[in-house]
Structure 1
Amino acid sequence: MTLATTPPIFDGHNDLLLRLLGGAVTARGVTNGLGSGHIDLPRAQAGGFGGGFFAIFVPSPATSGDSMAAMSLPQYDLPLPEMIPQPEALDTTWRGVEAFEALAAAGAITPCTTAAEIEAALGGPKMAAVLHLEGAEAIGPDLEELHALHARGLRSLGPVWSRPTIFGNGVPFRYPATPDIGEGLTEAGKRLVRECNALKVMIDLSHLNEKGVDDVAALSDAPLVATHSNAHAVTTHARNLTDRQLAMIAESDGMVGINFATAFLRPDGRMDPSCSLDEVLRHLDHLIGKLGEDRVGFGSDFDGATVPEGITDIAGLPNLRAAMTAHGIDAPLMEKLCHGNWLRVLRKTWGA
């Protein structure tokens, strides 16, 4: 396959900060290419990974190994983890902010709060990076913490991960299933949406259940965005978006970033790396068919999931570009899918 590294890929979701908080790598190690995982600066340069949304995530006490094993079965229904107490979540979140800032100090990332800053950093020596909160457990009902995090650079937020918060309910890791599970946003969740709109913080739909997505759509004045989600019509996982939801996203002029986690790509819902890049292309075709060419990008979930063996890590992104080219994706559409559509929706959301 052609080892093309252009156009640079701006990505809707990664969990590198979780690796830093877990001690699997240091900020300096990310810069110098030390340690394992999916992301570091040398591999970013080798693969044409221009950057993306860097998520702060508060893990549940249950081990991810148990979850991964369950998700290799033909059917599974993992129970929703319990709500995380706010003081615990807030401590982890501030440490995540510090880890993000340490990456900047080490020369691995260029923090960005505008689309213009992302565009300027793409293709440069560092990864363009937007600070994202995956699950709003750290924020209290008065939303004071939202303002404090915004002041430190937060520009994107998912109200929930796959567990309840005071703001709403997420979907479990369940296959086969629909996202029509439980109640939607709470009154606090509705206040959170309105305040995010006021602050120009992007709201991420990727872990919300169906009623929660409906509530955001009814309240938000911004484009509807799912940073790392796939098509339910292709893979009937609870995490994936139905055609009805895709129609709502298209109507709002939002977008979806395709998730590389194989459980959301494979038709059998298994978290198994023996997954062809053809499965990525099946979701790509469906999403373009429902959303149009201007509303689809990538949201890999690097460092947070098992990805197809044809990609492996960010150094493998040239294989994805080659597969897309062989699939008939021309140069203008390639530019849109790799980063142009993210820049478009972020300009519309952030106003800059």
Structure 2
Amino acid sequence: MPIDLRSDTVTVPTQKMRDAMRDAVVGDDVYGEDPTINQLERLAAEIVGKEAALFVTSGTQGNQVAVLSHTQRGDEVILEEHSHIFYHETAGLATIAGVQARTIKGVNGQMPIPEIVSAVREDDVHCPSTALICLENTHGDSGGRILPLSYMEEVFQVSRQYQIPVHLDGARLFNAAIGLGVDPKEMTKYTDSVQFCLSKGLSAPMGSILAGPKEYIKRARKWRKMLGGGTRQAGIVGAAGIIALEEMVDRLQEDHIHAKALAEGLACIDGIDIDAEGVETNMIMFFIDKLGVDAGEFIRQLNKFDILANPSGPFRIRFVTHRGITKDDIDRTIEAVKHIAAKKVNI
């Protein structure tokens, strides 16, 4: 089997999840009659401290439903310039929600507070209305960096001052919670809505959760239906989601330990530019421009060692640890990079 460091989305369900999926009690979720989905939504809402929750087919669908439920066409949304909602959701803000993105350059995913304040539109006939602030925790493009609680609180205070809701793209919310050593509620209390994935590190085969106030989730349910997310006997996959939330959160710490070990090993290799101290969760970003090869060639060299990875720029590589990665895999990857770097540095 290859060492697959492309993403934690490659995780497969556990045997217990497969058994639960086989035996799940199901019904028509569009009618609200799937008992397993109903159980999952109650559990998810309780975990993040919200009144209600909605099962959606993916994180992208969850984020788009969230925006639709907070905004009207022609509104403006404030978000970080490399946020997943803006950068990796195929222009859904514009094409689906019909809203305008107001992007702000962040540092490790954190938009400067004064710039958020400056981005809030005045009541002017020439301007769109600022309808939503979006945060992402952990922040993927920054290498899985965690937004501190103090920062989330500051953003929330600004949002209250201007009466603008905050949506959290928490695709890897539990990685952030484990990294901070806090209950997820300590983060989500500074949000009006939150989306988080059941797949990725939690290993469910599919699905995400959108959570928020009851009336908000009622609107979201209708938008989900419009987007084709009104599933029928969804409890078959929802059963795996329940196990993901009940049994798979604490083990994320192992992924963080592996990522830190990998980063520290890479930091000792000539030609690899990495901030090992900045690795906070299960994601690693590093630069290879000093090796004299681009990301595509570097990954082709990795493939010869049966290692899979993704580029994150012309000279930037991303590694993501997950349940399928062992300590031996980490050691083998470090040795492979040493071999590739030695060849390229000596050219």
Could you tell me the TM-score, scaled by structure 1's length? 0.31
Q: Which has the larger radius of gyration?
A: 2
Could you tell me the TM-score, scaled by structure 2's length? 0.31
More helix per residue: 1 or 2? 2
